[in-house]
């Protein structure tokens, strides 16, 4: 994240052909909704992959998914991570 500079992801996306992942940061005024909207409402041709407000974890996972397209080690680690998540859910006692 770039603090309150929600426009930064769009500026970067306009200047590169590489994937840009935006992480809206929670703000006092609107709880981060202003940041979220400024990232997801980019004009056509300037894509920004945007995750939930304050959700840097999903941004990291999105980056890993992109890299896993060409990197089998990352792909295997993501599969292991996913299996671990499934097991944690199965282990929950209700």
Higher pLDDT, 29 or 44: 44
Q: 82 is written with which tokens?
A: 């996913």
**68 found inside a domain:** yes
User: Is position 29 within any domain?
Assistant: yes
Rounded to an integer, the average pLDDT of 7-19 is 94
CATH number assigned to the domain comprising residue 51? 3.40.50.1970
> Is residue 3, in this structure, part of any structural domain at all?
no
Q: Structurally, how many domains does the chain consist of?
A: 1
With respect to residue 1, please indicate whether it lies within any of the assigned structural domains.
Answer: no
Which tokens belong to 59?
A: 């941004």
pTM of the entire predicted model: 0.84
Confidence of residue 7 (pLDDT cuts 50, 70, 90): confident
Q: Kindly state whether residue 77 falls inside one of the protein's structural domains.
A: yes
Q: Is the pLDDT of residue 1 over 60?
A: no
pLDDT tens profile 58-77? 999 999 999 999 999 999 99
Report whether 78 contacts 64 (CB < 8 A): yes
Q: Residue 79 sits in which domain range? A: 8-90
pLDDT tens figures, 20-43: 999 999 988 899 999 999 999 999
Do residues 67 and 73 make contact, with C-beta atoms less than 8 angstroms apart? Answer: no
**What angle in degrees, to the nearest 10, is found between the helix axes of 33-40 and 8-15?**
20
């Amino acid at each position: 994240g770039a603090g309150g500079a929600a426009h930064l992801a769009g500026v970067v996306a306009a200047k590169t052909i590489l994937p840009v992942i935006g992480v809206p940061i929670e703000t006092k005024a609107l709880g981060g909704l202003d940041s979220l909207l400024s990232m997801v409402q980019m004009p056509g041709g300037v894509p920004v992959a945007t995750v939930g407000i304050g959700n840097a974890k999903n941004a990291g996972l999105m980056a890993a998914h992109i890299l896993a397209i060409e990197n089998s080690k990352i792909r295997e680690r993501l599969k292991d991570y996913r299996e671990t998540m499934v097991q944690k859910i199965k282990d929950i006692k209700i």
